[in-house]
Structure 1
Amino acid sequence: MKKILDESLVYEILSVVEEIPEGNVATYGQIARLIGRDKNSRLVGTVLRRAGLYGEYPCHRVVNHAGRIVPGWTEQRYLLEQEGVSMKNDTHVDLKRFQWDC
């Protein structure tokens, strides 16, 4: 990982992801704000792509600012629906109903 992604930052992001309650979703930007890095939502995405290297985290609960799930990750929709999260359409979670209120 690049120098900006030191281990403490990775675990800081993953610890927030770990706190997202079952049946809720958070956005990349929301996580960035929670760690005090308002402008670093892409950094959050980079960490989540590599989260498997650090253990098991509920990364499927993270969507983009519009509620879109990750393109090409078909399991994400299934995992969310298993937790009771419904979709607005094929690719978007209903953020008004399911966004984590933290």
Structure 2
Amino acid sequence: MEHQDLQAALAKSQQELERAQQQIAELEALLAELPGIFERKFSQRLEPILERQRLLSADNERLQQGSQREEPLVLPLQPAQPRMGSGVRALWPQNQDPSVAA
């Protein structure tokens, strides 16, 4: 009976060893894939940042070219607004100094 118990224990140990070796092989395969996974994830996150940088660089270049024109940028003139002082003086009598109140 002892011999059968030893053989059963040996068979069980061999199965556990095979499962452990299989698990080790799976973990090693996963470890081998990790650099590629991280590289793809990094590239996915980096792509929109690089696109944004490209657009900002193009905008910057366009703005610099615009500021280096030989002719200055001319803005349209707005009509002058009447000043408050001219309307107030018209209310005072002609010969009276507005600083002297009656």
**TM-score band (shorter)?**
under 0.3
> As a proportion of its length, which structure holds more helix?
2
TM-score under structure 1 length normalisation: 0.18
Greater C-alpha radius of gyration: 2
TM-score under structure 2 length normalisation: 0.18
